[in-house]
Structure 1
Amino acid sequence: MPNIKSAKKRVKVTKVKAMQNQMAKSALKTVLKKFDAAIVSGDKAAAEAAYKAAVKAVDKAAAKHLMHKNAASNKKSAMTLKLNAVG
């Protein structure tokens, strides 16, 4: 346990930031699961709506450095291929 005031603050700030990152990652996973469920159902309109939400979420995650920008591009490309296969 830290004794210095600034070190104590760092512990608090790190805990808060870690929780924010965890919540953002969880929300991203939820959006991606909804997209996969829409793809499995075969409903083109629902899949397109879920695709838009998923791409936006992936872009936000990459902007916040929750995932690497190349990983985000790879994820979006894979989602696009899945969406085009539904048609």
Structure 2
Amino acid sequence: MANTPQAKKRIRRNDRRATINHSRVSRIRTFIKAVESALTTGDQAAASAALKAAQPEIARGVARGVIHKNTAARKFSRLTKRVAALS
């Protein structure tokens, strides 16, 4: 258990940040799922539009520090390759 005021404050801060970071990661996953659902239907226009919307969200996750930059690059690459394969 935290004994010092600083440690208690750190616990409170970590709880707040965990909630915020969870919502950010969840938002990114939602955008990625939109791209994947458009890919499964085979709609190339919808998939490219969803990818265009997902890319800034993933990049924002990197800027906020909730996902690693290499993870984001891998997701960009794989999704782009799958969307390009539809055409």
Q: Is the pair's TM-score, using the shorter chain for normalization, greater than 0.5?
A: yes
Higher alpha-carbon deviation: 16-25 or 4-13: 4-13
Specify the SS of the correspondent of 1:82.
Answer: helix
Provide the alpha-carbon RMSD of the alignment: 1.2
Q: 2:34 aligned with 1:43, yes or no?
A: no
Match for 1:2: what amino acid?
A
Residue segments in structure 1 that go unaligned for 5+ positions in a row: none
Counterpart Cα distance in 2 of 1:3 and 1:74:
42
Counterpart Cα distance in 2 of 1:40 and 1:34:
10
Match for 1:61: what amino acid?
G
**Which residue is 1:79 aligned to?**
79
Q: TM-score, with normalisation over the residues of structure 2? A: 0.90
**Which residue is 2:53 aligned to?**
53
Match for 1:8: what amino acid?
K
| Structure 1 outlier segments of 4+, above 4 Å | none
Match for 1:68: what amino acid?
H
Q: 2:1 aligned with 1:30, yes or no?
A: no
Counterpart Cα distance in 1 of 2:54 and 2:77:
12
Counterpart Cα distance in 1 of 2:21 and 2:63:
12
1:15-35 CA-to-partner distances (Å, cap 9, x unmatched) read 000111111111111111111
Report the count of equivalent residues.
87
Residue segments in structure 2 that go unaligned for 5+ positions in a row: none
